[in-house]
Amino acid sequence: MSVVHDSAYYRIETLDGYVRIVRSARPYTDLAGLDAEHAQLERALAPLRGLPVLVDLRDAPGRNDPAFEERMSAHRRVLFRGAPRACVLVRTATGVLQVRRHVKEDGLEGRVVVTNDPAGALRHVRGVADGTPY
């Protein structure tokens, strides 16, 4: 494992041929902080393009106010740019529904799998096809 980025909001690691992006439980205090963090994420991810990506949002604080949603929609796609396989791991079935909505809105449907099954998420990013539905 190699840590590529580690901040109060995200940790990016490379593991076994894939990139794991883990969102912390710390909420953003303002939208400028969100923008600054995502600029750092984009720089950290640039040399990793072409690797599968697993985004772990299980600890992410819930937030869906319109200003935050609008700003996040501009940043979400960056996490998956260039990934041959991508998966978002969430804690709950409600989280699956919300993130699937985002995936659809972002035009990533069919390219990004959303699940609350950690083992299934790992199988997907590792390219292990076992017929398990997500």
Q: Return the CATH superfamily for domain 2-126.
A: STAS domain (3.30.750.24)
- Place 130 in a pLDDT band, splitting at 50, 70 and 90: low
Q: What is the mean pLDDT of residues 98-118?
A: 94
Q: Label residue 120 by pLDDT band (50, 70, 90).
A: very high
Average pLDDT of the residues in 102-113? 93
User: Which pTM value belongs to this model?
Assistant: 0.92
Read off the amino acid at residue 21: I
Phi and psi at residue 6, to the nearest 5° = -145, 115
